Structure 1
Amino acid sequence: MPVRISYKQKNFRDLFQQIIQKKRVQFKSVDLEVKKIIANVIKNGDDSLVRFAKQYDHFKLSKKNIKFSKSEINNSVKKCRTKTISALKLAAKRIKDFHKRQFPKNSYYKDSLGIRLGMQWNPIDSVGVYVPGGSASYPSSVLMNVIPAKVAGVQRIAMAVPTPQGEINPLVLAAAHILGIEEIYRIGGAQAIAAFAYGTKSIDPVDKIVGPGNVYVSAAKRQVFGTVGIDMLAGPSEILIVADKNNNADWIAIDLLSQAEHDAQSQSILITDSTDFLEQVIGAIKKNLEKLPRKNIAAASWGVNGVAILVKNIDQSLPLINALAPEHLELCISNPEKMAKKVKNAGAIFLGNFTPEAVGDYMAGPNHVLPTSRSSRFSSGLNVLDFLTRSSLVKCDKKSLNKIGPKIVELADCEGLTAHAFSVMYRIKD
C-alpha cells in the first residue's frame, strides 16, 4: 500500500522527512562488481566485450559485429511503421527547435581599464550515448540524448545499445538513422561505459558519456567520471502531482501510473487539499492498473514507493515541492503559472490539466533527461550547454597592464608566489 500522510497528523513533518530520506537505489551493492568489469575492459578490450555479451546479454558477440552495419540499420528502419517514423521525425524537429534556443553566444568587451575580456564556447569533440536495451529500450531516449549534442556541434557521436538474446528494438536504430548516427555498438552495461571511457581496438574513447541505464550503468558512470565527463547519475523515474479537487481522478491516476510503469523503483506522489479527491484517485489507480500491460511493475512501484499527501490548502504544497525536488512536477491547479514561478526545485514543470508529463517525454521539445533523487536542487535537465566548453578570453595591452599590474604584484607577493609577481613586474618596468 502507498504511504498516506495528512497535515492533521502531529508527526506530519517527521513522516514527510521519511519520504525524503527514503533511498530507492544503492550503488554500493554493485560497486565492486562494476569495478572489476571496468578493469577487465581496460585490460582485455574487445575480448571483454565479447565475454560480457555472452555472460549478461546471452548472445554470441564477435569482434567483427560489435558495430552495427549500415545495412542492419537500414533494415531496421524498413521494419518500422511509417506513422511511427513520422512521429519520430516530428518529435526530432520539435526537440531540435527547442534546443537551438539554448545555444549561447560568444561575448567580448573592453572594461574601464582597457582590458579586453570575453567568453567563447566550443563543442566537445566526441560523445558516447548509452541507450538502454531490453524492456526499457526507447527510441525517444535516442532523440533526447543525441539532438542537444548535434545542436552543440559535437562532431563524433557514438551510441551503445545492449541486445539481450541478440535482439534490438528496430525503432532505436531508426531514431539513430533519422539523426544521422552511424557509429552504433551492440554492447551494454558497465562494459559499454568502460569501452567509451577507455577505448578498445574497435571503439575509440569519447570525451563525455550521456544516457540513462540501470544501477550497473550508473555505478560505472560514477567510477569513470574524471577520465570522461558524464551527464548525471540518473536514478529511478519520479513524478509529483499537485492537484485540487477540480480534476478528473482518472486523469491524475493515469499520470501517476505513467511513471510507476517505468520501473518497480519509480516513485509517484500526489499532493491534494481534498480528502474526497484523494480517495477518488486511489480508487482510480486500482481500476486503471488493470488496463496496463505492465501492471505488475506499476503495481509494485505504487505499492512500495507511492505516496499520497493531504495538505490544508494548495499553497501549503509549495515548501513540500521544493523539498522533494521532483524530476517531473505536474501542477493541476487553478493558477499553475503563479505557483510555477515560486518553484525552485523541479526538473520539468507541466502546467494545467491538459499537460500530462507524457507530452514532455515525447513531443513538447524540452529534454526528458532530468535530474532525479532530489538532484534538481543543484542540477538541471540535459541541454546544449552539457555538450559545450567555455573558455575565458583576456587581453591586456601595455597601458592596461600598467594600470592593473601593481595590484597583481601585491596579491602575488602576499601569497608568496614570486614568479607570478615577476611575470608582471618585468613587463611593467619595460
Structure 2
Amino acid sequence: MSYAERGVWFLQQAAGAEACNLGAAVRIPSPLDPERLFAALTVVAGRHEAMRTTYRIDGASLVAVVLPENPPQTRLIDAVDWTTEQLADAVRAVHAEPFDLAGGSPCRLVLWNRGAAGHVMFFAMHHAVTDWNSMVQCAAEMFELYGNGLDVSALPAVTAGYGDFAAAQQAMLAGPDGAAALAYWNSILPAARPPRPVPADRERSGRATAQQILPFGFGAEAKKGLDALAWRLRVPVYLVLLGRWASALRPVETGQPLVVGLSRTLRKPAFARTVGCFTNTIPVVVGPEAGPDLPSVVDGLRRQLQESYRHQGYPNELLARHRPDLGAAGGRPAMFDAHFNYVPGDADNLGSLFTGDAQVRAQAGGLLLESFPALPTVGMWSDFSLHLTEAPQRLVGMVGYDSATFSAATADAVSRRFADPAGHPAAVTP
C-alpha cells in the first residue's frame, strides 16, 4: 500500500465517508444511452487496478487486495418530475454515502433521468484509490469509450500499476532520500503548531466536519492580469495564487508563521496513464520575516519550493507520525489549517467542468456536458481549502470551509480577501 491509501483509509475511520469521497456532478442535455455509459466505466475499471482494490485487516496490518473483477456501482433513477433543488439534495446524499472498502467497488456512477431535459450524472471514487487528476482521466476514458463503441484499443496503454508506485515509494523511504527528506521538513517546520490563522467562530463538537463551498472564478481580464504579474515576478501563475491565498490567511499582526498544505503530484512518466492517489500534501511555511507585500511573499515561496521540490515525495502521513505536535488538533483530521490545490487545464476541459462553476461546458464522447454545482467536488477536510482549475481563458475555483467551526460570514470574508486583493493590505499587487 502507498501512504496515501493508508492515510485516507484511516481518515475515513476518524472523519467519516464524506471527507474521503471525491465526486462531481454534471448535466447531460444530449440524448444518452445509460447502459452504454455504465459499460464504458466498467471497461475503465478493468484497465486500472486501483478501481478494483479492496482493503482488509490482516492481523495488525491493513492490506490492499486487487480483485480480478470489481464492477463499479451504477444506478439509474427516474427524476422526470423532480425540481433542481430535489436533484441537488439527491446528489449531496449520494456523495455522502460511504464506500464498502472491504468488499465493494471504490467507484460509483449514478444517473438521474430528467426526461426531455436529459440526465444529471454523478461520478465518485474513494480518495484512497484516486486523486483529482485520476478522476478526470477516468471520466475522459469513460466518455471516449462511450463515443467509440467501447473500443479499448483507442486508449493509451497503461504501462504500470499503482502497486508499482507503492513499491517505489517504500524503496525511497528505506534509503538515504527518505532520511534527508525528513531532516529537511523538520528544519523548515515551526517548533510548535501555530494557532489557527482564522479564529474559530465556534468549537466543533467531536470529530465531525460539515464542509461547505463558496464557488468563484477569475474572468478573462483578471486571468490576464494574473498572468502578467506572474511574468513580471518570473514565477508560474500558481505561485502568485498561492501567495494571494497565504496573504488572505496570514495573521501578519500576530507575528505567527502560517503553514499551508500544498498538493503536489508524485506521478512520474511511467505512471502517466495509471489511476491512483498520487497526490502528496507538503507543508509550505510563510514566516513572520516575510514582507507584507505580495511580491515579497511570492519570492519567499519561490525560494522555498525550489528546495522542497527535492523532498516532496516524503508522505505527509509519515511526517505527521514523526511530528505529532503538528498533527490533529481539536479533533480535526487535517495536518494543517489551510490547503491549496491548483489543477492545470486538461484537453477535454473536464477538470474545470467538475469544479462546479455554473458557466462551464464541455464536449466529450459526442455528448454535451454542463456543470451542475451541488457539492464539494474535492475531498476537503482542512479548516479552509482553496481549489483552482484552469478553464479556457479563465480560472474557476472554490473556497471550502468547515461550517462546524466557521460561520458563513467568516468564510465569505476569507474568500473576498483572496479574490479581491484590494480587500487585504498584504495582498495588494504592484
Which TM-score applies when normalising by structure 1?
0.31
Which TM-score applies when normalising by structure 2?
0.31
More helix by share: 1
State which structure, 1 or 2, has the greater radius of gyration over its C-alpha atoms: 1
More strand by share: 2
Higher RCO, 1 vs 2 (CA within 8 Å, ≥6 residues apart)? 2
